[in-house]
Chains A and B, each alone.
Chain A
Amino acid sequence: MAEEPFDADEISEPSPVKAGSIVLRERFIVNGDKPLPNLDSPNAKAYLAEDRHDLSRNLFALVCTPGIPLRTSTIKKLQVTPGPGNLELVESESVFWPIIGQRTMVIIYERPMGGRVIDRIKAGQVRITEYDIPRKVIQPIVDGLRHIRSLNTAHRALRPDNLFFLDEDMQEIVLGDCVTAPEGFDQPLMYEPLERALANPAGRGKGSTIDDMYALGASLVVLTLGNNPIERMKGEDLLFRRTNLGSYAAVCGNARIPLSLLEPLRGLLSDSPNERWGLDEISNWLNGLKQTPQQKKPARKGDTPLRFGGRDHTNVRTLAHAFNRQIPEAVKALKDETFHAWLKRSANEGDLSDTLKGYVDTANFHKENHQGSDEYLIARCCAAMDPYGPIRYKGVSVYLDGFGPMLAMEIIRNGNVQVLTEIINREIYQFWVSDRALLLDSIEISQQFAQMKAWLSSNEVGQGLERCLYELNPGLTCQSPHIIEEGIVFIDDLLPALDRAANHADSHAKPVDRHVAAFIAARFNEDTQPHLRALAAAKESTSVIGMLSLLAFLQWKLKTAPVFGLASWVGGLLGPAINAYHSRTTRRELEKEIPKLVRRGSLPDMFDLIDNAEKRREDQDGYADAVEEYAICAEEILSIEGSGNELQEKAEKTGQKTAATISIITTMIAVTIMFFSEIL
């Protein structure tokens, strides 16, 4: 995109809809030629937007990156229920975005006129003192988080560069966008709680307000100091430091934190989710109520370090993280008495040592199956060594509530999906569920993953990996090659998208492929199982009828406008379904009728024509009668033809009998005549 950055303040009159611009809901104009890079999100570009009904409104649009799963349920909630402390989400729609040449989700927000808070601070345009922090920064953010919590969700994108001044006077701070990427996906490691920071970005999980509170603490450090004290520390180093020192010590380091903020920062940056300050604690602090001071609690450390993977480890949490990266070495270490001696004597984890030894013995017992594999053993050991950490398997670290986005990102990026499916199929998630029963509804998680395992085990359309993908990612666009560029998130948009795709799709390919079927199964709140079962049938005619019935059901239930292109596409594939009728006359009639229905764009009518129950029954009955009649004819033919000499003999005998009969009758007549002529 080569647009020049545009100064939003230059707007004085509403511009007409130009090339490169689009209109949402026939009301909001998004100007593609007026980008607002200062309002960009990591996964969405910002453009100037206008409300045709109210030209005085200051709006901007975020054009989402196609393929990134969106938080659709949060979009709906924020749109329906705007609240304090958040940018008002005005409208959203999946539309064709000419600049990238494909459809994508566009979200209209209220434009924060004061810009990014951190930019203004760094530019020296505003100064926030330690005395301003509680009322000017914390209070509006807490209000925003409280509102988001009331919507049963979490922000999970709270960081200094996602805080904005709503007004030009830079007095009111609001939380920025949180819906254009999965929860925590865009967060730098510093702003994620330690346990979630240890997971891959896409797998950090939905989380809760308690995770937002940590992000608030980390953001406060940056906003208070005006810069990030650990800006240069990245990745593994930062995680290692946070694990060893504790997040508070790692983030604040030697920075000069105002005394008045020490208490809330210690509370907010606590690495224990149970001890971390929540909204009530911070509100109490804002209201001047004294909180129980939290002591600086570094992680449990061993007396002497254990060298593994090029680092000296003093606690098992960092070791678990390292074990997952270097599995063969980790297995060697597990079987080495030196490691267990270190666990018992230095790390004071005697029970853990016994547990790990037990796991090694179990693995040895199951040498023949996956439970004896090194990867399985290490995953199990990591879960025991870091019970609050993410599930770790074959180098992947993922929270189960972040499994969906992780799966989506791996599929979209053609990554290692195999590992994720193994986590489900080999029930590796069970370690996690059982160890964290206090934190999560383990029964619900177990049920969800058991259901996913069932889907994965099925290779039928509408099941499999694709079903898991769409069930776990309500905001993911349909990945079918037919409509991937359409950016379809909602089921209502599917048929119109397939209708448009009919213009360029291979007419021999079915419109309902594995992705479309799974998308429908996951997003359509009706019982589609009978249709999917028919669609998955090995018999081509049944499969085609299943496809038609599914699409017709969709059009009927969603009251979709006529789909002429799709009807034509489907009509061209109905050969096997038509041929399922035995009667050639019926076939010819159907072939004659289909073009008429195509011109009506009605899939339900087409389905009624093709799969009319009465017509089917008549055809079946007629066919059965025809088979019977054919068999009777064949038998009679066989009896006539198969007789051979027998027929000849039969004819001769009949002739002989006839001759005898004629002879006798002639004699009787002649005798009678002669007798009576003699006596009379």
Chain B
Amino acid sequence: MNMRMIIWSVLIFALLLIVALPTVMLIAFGMLPAIVAVIIDRTEERSAAFCVGGLNFCGLFTYLMDLWFGDHDLGQAMHILTDVFALAVMYGGACMGWMLYLSLPPVISSFIQVMSERRLQQLRATQRKILDEWGDEVIHDADLGGNGAAPPQAQAGQKMPAAA
């Protein structure tokens, strides 16, 4: 972030403080979990920040609209911020975001793992079929080296073809 962006950010923040101090205050306190997530998520993709921030904002937005479509003053903002239920909704959304962030990757990972195993089986079956038809010399002529050159294990009931 260069100096120019910092200056612009400070200017916009200052302008927002002047024009919409209650909104800024509500967002600042209501989005605290998202801010924490941004700080602690050091990954390039910032998935945790997006995940927590998204649902945190979802919980906050109801109260933002009360502020925007009701009395847009500091009293109303303080009233919301001191309302336990309102805070529970905002921070509950953030909590949901964290839970989503923590629970979904293992599920996806397991799914991908299953898909990979399935693909491996298909590939080994293809190799098995090739060796049955063309013989083990294929392995030599494929000139692969490493693990990929190893002949697949014969399945039950299948016989290894004799090397020519």
- Residues of A within 8 Å of B154, CB to CB, are none
B45 in complex: contacting residue of A653, A666, A667, CB < 8 Å: A653
The reply to whether B112 and A647 form a contact with Cβ atoms under 8 Å apart is yes
Which of B127, B148, B161 has the most chain A CB within a 10 Å cutoff? B148
Which of B52, B106, B123, B149 has the most chain A CB within a 10 Å cutoff? B123
A636 in complex: contacting residue of B61, B112, B123, B147, CB < 8 Å: B123
For A649-680 the 0/1 string (1 means CB < 8 A from B) is 01111111111101110110011001100110
Give the segment of B7-15, B20-28, B135-143 that binds chain A: B135-143
- Residues of B within 8 Å of A670, CB to CB, are 58, 61
The reply to whether A663 and B51 form a contact with Cβ atoms under 8 Å apart is yes
- Residues of B within 8 Å of A623, CB to CB, are 134, 138, 141
The reply to whether B105 and A585 form a contact with Cβ atoms under 8 Å apart is no
The reply to whether A626 and B47 form a contact with Cβ atoms under 8 Å apart is no
Closest-by-CB residue of B relative to A648 is: B109
Q: CA of A582 to CA of B133 in the docked complex: distance in angstroms? A: 8
B18: CB under 8 A from chain A? no
The reply to whether B104 and A662 form a contact with Cβ atoms under 8 Å apart is yes
The reply to whether B105 and A656 form a contact with Cβ atoms under 8 Å apart is yes
Given A654-B108, A655-B106, A674-B65, are A634 and B58 also a contact pair (CB < 8 Å)? Answer: no
Distance (whole angstroms) from the CB of A680 to the closest CB of chain B: 12
- Residues of B within 8 Å of A652, CB to CB, are 105-106, 108-109
- Residues of A within 8 Å of B142, CB to CB, are 627, 630-631, 634
B100: CB under 8 A from chain A? yes
Main secondary structure of the interface of B (DSSP, over half): helix
- Residues of B within 8 Å of A629, CB to CB, are 126, 130
Main secondary structure of the interface of A (DSSP, over half): helix
For B143-157 the 0/1 string (1 means CB < 8 A from A) is 110111100000000
B54: CB under 8 A from chain A? yes
The reply to whether B51 and A651 form a contact with Cβ atoms under 8 Å apart is no
Give the segment of A18-26, A83-91, A244-252, A638-646 that binds chain B: A638-646
Given A630-B130, A635-B148, A674-B65, are A659 and B104 also a contact pair (CB < 8 Å)? Answer: yes
Closest-by-CB residue of A relative to B110 is: A651
The reply to whether B109 and A651 form a contact with Cβ atoms under 8 Å apart is yes
The reply to whether B104 and A655 form a contact with Cβ atoms under 8 Å apart is yes
Distance (whole angstroms) from the CB of A618 to the closest CB of chain B: 13
Distance (whole angstroms) from the CB of A243 to the closest CB of chain B: 69
Given A637-B148, A667-B54, are A647 and B62 also a contact pair (CB < 8 Å)? Answer: no
A633: CB under 8 A from chain B? yes
Q: CA of A659 to CA of B52 in the docked complex: distance in angstroms? A: 10
The reply to whether A637 and B113 form a contact with Cβ atoms under 8 Å apart is no
The reply to whether B127 and A633 form a contact with Cβ atoms under 8 Å apart is yes
- Residues of A within 8 Å of B105, CB to CB, are 651-656, 658-659
B120: CB under 8 A from chain A? yes
A584: CB under 8 A from chain B? yes
- Residues of B within 8 Å of A663, CB to CB, are 50-55, 97, 100-101
Q: CA of A658 to CA of B139 in the docked complex: distance in angstroms? A: 40
Q: CA of A433 to CA of B127 in the docked complex: distance in angstroms? A: 69
A328: CB under 8 A from chain B? no
A622: CB under 8 A from chain B? yes
Distance (whole angstroms) from the CB of A164 to the closest CB of chain B: 67
Given A658-B108, A663-B97, A671-B58, are A637 and B132 also a contact pair (CB < 8 Å)? Answer: no
Interface residues of A (CB under 8 A from B): 579-580, 582-585, 622-623, 626-627, 629-631, 633-638, 640-642, 647-648, 650-660, 662-664, 666-667, 670-671, 674-675, 678-679
Interface residues of B (CB under 8 A from A): 43, 45-48, 50-55, 57-58, 61-62, 65, 69, 97, 100-101, 103-113, 116, 119-120, 123-124, 126-127, 130-135, 137-139, 141-144, 146-149, 161, 164
Contacts beyond the supplied A651-B108, A662-B104: 19 A-B pairs with Cβ under 8 Å: A630-B130, A630-B138, A634-B142, A634-B144, A634-B148, A635-B144, A635-B148, A641-B147, A642-B147, A654-B112, A655-B109, A656-B45, A656-B105, A658-B105, A660-B48, A664-B50, A666-B55, A670-B61, A679-B69
18 A–B contacts, CB within 8 A, in A order: A580-B164, A584-B134, A584-B135, A627-B142, A630-B139, A635-B144, A637-B124, A637-B147, A640-B123, A641-B120, A650-B112, A654-B108, A655-B105, A655-B109, A656-B45, A658-B104, A660-B47, A667-B61
